[in-house]
Amino acid sequence: MSSATKDVMFKLIFSDARSKKMLIHLLNSIIDSKNNPIDSVDIGKSE
């Protein structure tokens, strides 16, 4: 799978407002933010 395809798939999955909880969980897992966890994200539109 090409890098561009992965980018499109990530955007399709995580750019929807209904996916906010899943995105927050992913980000907290990646950056190991146990002491200061992310509790909200703002999903903006990109073209």
Report pLDDT digits (tens) over 1-47.
788 888 888 888 888 888 899 999 999 989 877 789 999 988 777 65
Q: What is the pLDDT of residue 46?
A: 63
Query: Which of 24, 21, 19, 16 minimizes the C-alpha distance to 45?
Result: 16
Q: What is the pLDDT of residue 32?
A: 79
Contacts of 20 (CB under 8 A, 6+ apart): 40, 41, 43
| Strand runs labelled E in the chain | none
Q: What is the pLDDT of residue 47?
A: 59
Q: What is the pLDDT of residue 38?
A: 92
Q: Provide the b/e sequence for 27-39 (b: ≥16 CB within 10 Å).
A: eeeeeeeeeeeee
